[in-house]
Chains A and B, each alone.
Chain A
């Protein structure tokens, strides 16, 4: 069996007797972009906190690059929903800190940070404090920070959820262009069907609470992709299909509410 970047096996978790995750198994292959799609409150964030080692599952295992990491922290590069930049550090210093925590030597972290910030057009903001950046720009920094982190698996937790629709579309394009050059293993949590279709190689659809894997859908579009994808018949057909799966009326959804 090949080694997966992430291999989640039969995870279950409950809070105060209420099951949140029910026997969830997900894999991310090396260099694969997997989107985790589910209704709000379906336990996606709980799953992420467990991959990050912030809490332990009641049952099941989490393996990263073939290593048992259940309950261990520091094995992922992480991009949270809020940019989470330290306000007293400059943009560059924020990126550098994440690399240093990941174990990159100071000098190398500094060099790489400068290089990448310039490359994605944020060079002039390297020495600015985060509060002068717009929400979209802060998320770009947050993404670069995760991309440069030495941990191989990138976990993106609804990274564009707090942005307005237009900025969100630009950010998706931007992320796509950078990712397609670098092909890191990515697990993306989102509740946007379009986002999942546009960005990922495979979509894992979760049911409402307690979350279980409803279906795994390979995304057939060729790379590099661009926004013209939105208007193709197949894109819209798949969107419909996934939407049907996620409808609250769906049997597996139970009484859960989207």
Chain B
């Protein structure tokens, strides 16, 4: 715990300094609150009786969508990576198509999905899934192909077949890669949920931000943005915690990925 605090203080100090500077500029710079409210004003607005219940409601709606989309996207990503890995020729044939699919901006994909799937919950979830599966598929596919040749040779020598090789060597070896992909997907899932809500929804922080922005309630926009950031961090933390559990067999200090 002590070392965590020691490593954690520089970024915390920077954030604190940033908020202090922001507060100072607004207080002494004569900036109008509808252009840029101070951090304290943002918090006051968020906690006000008129705003707080709505923020909670919309946060829950966004969280629900994000988690469902991330879960389904992860599942889809894992299944797809396995198929691409196991079916001969599938990887070569489908990879270009997969990469192409990622070149369609989600701001375009959103309206298209609504045309095809209506205005309900489905197009929003599909959008999140489409955004999430890709980093997972790519990371997992890399992991499945990275198995240690010495271990593969050993298992082959004692008579392991293709399925044993996949289940006992390639799949467990790909788990650390899966988590790298999930960390990216976790961040994407929140962003794409917000975009989906922005494009057409009756709930969620994206919807709330759009509404607040058109009424120049800048403090509410910033309050919702703050919640989005905190939620993203929480999601990332959950994935990182799951990773530590599932990859506990790795020697200390070799845990991959970004440090939160």
Contact = CB atoms under 8 A, between A and B. Distances in A.
A203 B164 CA distance: 36
Interface in A51-104: 52-54, 73-78, 80, 82, 84, 86-89, 97-98, 101-102
Nearest to A100: B164
Interface in B234-260: 248-251
B250 to A, nearest CB: 7
A149 B164 CA distance: 17
What size tier do the contact residues of chain A reach?
20 to 34
A15 B215 CA distance: 77
Contacts of A49: 157
A75 B156 CA distance: 11
Interface in A116-167: 129, 131, 149, 151, 155
A88 B251 CA distance: 10
B87 interface: no
A78 B157 contact: yes
Interface string B151-185: 10111111110001000110011010000000000
Interface of B is mostly: helix
What size tier do the contact residues of chain B reach?
20 to 34
B50 interface: no
Contact of A74 (B150, B159, B172, B175): B159
A178 to B, nearest CB: 19
Nearest to A103: B159
A129 B252 CA distance: 12
Nearest to B164: A101
Nearest to A90: B249
A186 to B, nearest CB: 15
Contacts of B158: 73-74, 76-78, 98, 101-102, 149, 151
A129 B156 contact: no
Nearest to B151: A84
Nearest to A155: B157
A97 B150 contact: no
A93 to B, nearest CB: 10
A49 B153 CA distance: 9
B156 A54 contact: yes
A87 B250 contact: yes
B249 A52 contact: no
Nearest to B251: A131
B249 A131 contact: yes
B168 A80 contact: no
B157 A97 contact: no
19 contacts: A49-B157, A52-B157, A54-B156, A73-B158, A74-B159, A76-B158, A78-B157, A78-B158, A84-B153, A86-B169, A86-B172, A87-B250, A89-B249, A101-B159, A101-B164, A102-B158, A149-B158, A151-B158, A155-B157
Interface of A: 49, 52-54, 73-78, 80, 82, 84, 86-89, 97-98, 101-102, 129, 131, 149, 151, 155
- The 8 A-B residue pairs with the shortest CB-CB distance in the complex, in nearest-first order: A74-B159, A52-B157, A84-B154, A88-B249, A129-B249, A131-B251, A78-B157, A88-B172
